[in-house]
Amino acid sequence: MQASRILVTGANGFVGRALSNELVRHGYDVCCAVRSISSATRQSGKLVEVGDIGRKTNWYEAVAGVDTVIHLAARVHVLQDTACDPLAEFRAVNVEGSEKLARDAASAGVRRIVYVSSIGVNGNYTEGVPFTEKDNSAPYDAYTVSKYEAERAIFSVADQTGIEVVVLRPPLVYGPGNPGNFLRLLKMVERGIPLPLASIQNNRSMIYLGNLVDALITTATHAEAGGKTYLVSDDEDISIPELIRQIACLMGRQPRLWAIPLKVLRIAGKVAGKSSELEKLVGSLVINSSKIRADLGWSTPYTFDEGLAETVKWFQSISGKHQAP
């Protein structure tokens, strides 16, 4: 499938910036939908301001002449969410906004929309058996419920209009510029904060930013991707203690890990109301991403070691630290 003009929503975000820049490098005509042009930075491609995303968003200028839409824009996890009804807030952006985009895109003659969902649609953790595309959906919070409902809404539009839909469900994304939990982990290791995780024996799937960008371009352009849902991750899984050790090594530091029994950690997490956050550190979440590899011949262009090294290198550049010789 040839795609001459591609619209990237959420183009000012962590993934969106990297994706739009890579698409331009590959020679595509890229339209970058952003909430506000005044806040857009480091974008390649034409900027189109769409404002807040919801059921009333006017996408017509953004989708005009576009072959393919890669939809990244979303309301994401909010720390200490103060909304009276968080699920309603997530639905307004992630479900109603995505459905409106799909309908406007179909009306404008867009051939395909690639929707970036979340592995959380499958569930919060795995026990021995990796997640696959065949699993029953098990979203576990307001955010993941909204992402699952958005998938269903977009596929419903496809059934009604004929627009092709591809859904990607990535796990935690890491790479230069990353915000959120991974950045907090980098800061804790760099500051030498002792972490009570030495006894944790888990496995986590993640995906490097460059690998996700490559998967997005593949699913946007491959003729066989239409109508499919894909789980996507790096080739390698890693335990959280080993991840901390590797980060510390790249920083030229000693990892500061100490052991607390897992049962005690989980009790402490429950008492603090942080069970969900804790589970992302101590639980396993493993993805089987063989379907996208078999269907589309996709493979990760970067190894885990390469991705982690680039991420730490970026972090040291912004923190003013330098790797020890």
Within a domain: 80: yes
| Phi, psi at 53, each rounded to 5° | -95, 130
Q: Answer yes or no: are the C-beta atoms of 145 and 93 closer than 8 Å.
A: no
Q: Is the pLDDT of residue 2 over 70?
A: no
Q: What is the pTM of this model?
A: 0.92
Show the CA angle centred on residue 78, arms to residues 77 and 80, nearest 5°.
135
Under DSSP, is residue 90 helix (H, G, I), strand (E, B) or coil?
helix
Q: How confident is the model over 125-146, as pLDDT tens digits?
A: 998 899 999 999 999 999 999 9
Helix axis angle, 209-221 relative to 14-25, nearest 10°? 60
Q: How confident is the model over 7-55, as pLDDT tens digits?
A: 999 998 999 999 999 999 999 999 999 888 766 666 677 888 888 899 9
Q: Is the pLDDT of residue 237 over 90?
A: yes
Within a domain: 323: no
Q: Mean per-residue pLDDT for 271-285?
A: 82
Write out the residue range of the structural domain in which residue 120 sits: 5-175+206-236+286-301
Q: How confident is the model over 149-172, as pLDDT tens digits?
A: 999 999 999 999 999 999 999 999
Within a domain: 119: yes
Residue 268: the pLDDT is 84
Within a domain: 255: no
Which residue in this structure is represented by tokens 């867009």? 110
Q: Answer yes or no: are the C-beta atoms of 73 and 10 closer than 8 Å.
A: yes
Within a domain: 317: no
Q: Is the pLDDT of residue 323 over 60?
A: no
As a whole-number percent, the residues of the chain with pLDDT over 70 amount to: 94
Within a domain: 10: yes
- 251 vs 80, which has greater pLDDT? 251
Q: Mean per-residue pLDDT for 300-321?
A: 92
Closest Cα partner for 251 from 172, 314, 174?
314
Show the CA angle centred on residue 251, arms to residues 261 and 283, nearest 5°.
30
Number of domains in the chain: 1
Residue 233: the pLDDT is 97
CA distances to 28, 30, 173, 177, 187 from 180, rounded to whole Å, are 30, 27, 10, 10, 11
What is the average pLDDT score of the chain? 91
Q: Is the pLDDT of residue 77 over 70?
A: no
As a whole-number percent, the residues of the chain with pLDDT over 90 amount to: 74
13 CB-near residues (< 8 Å, 6+ apart): 72, 73
Q: Which tokens in the block code for residue 234? A: 């790096």
Specify the CATH number for the domain of residue 114. Answer: 3.40.50.720
Within a domain: 309: no
Within a domain: 193: no
CA distance 149 to 145: 6
Q: How confident is the model at residue 227 (pLDDT cuts 50, 70, 90)?
A: very high
Q: How confident is the model at residue 116 (pLDDT cuts 50, 70, 90)?
A: very high
Residue 79: the pLDDT is 47
**Residues taking part in catalysis:** 143
| Phi, psi at 231, each rounded to 5° | -90, 140
Instruction: Identify residue 311 by its one-letter amino acid code.
Output: T
- Which helix H or strand E contains 243, and what residues bound it? helix 240-250
CA distance 283 to 288: 17
Q: How confident is the model over 288-310, as pLDDT tens digits?
A: 999 999 999 999 999 999 999 99
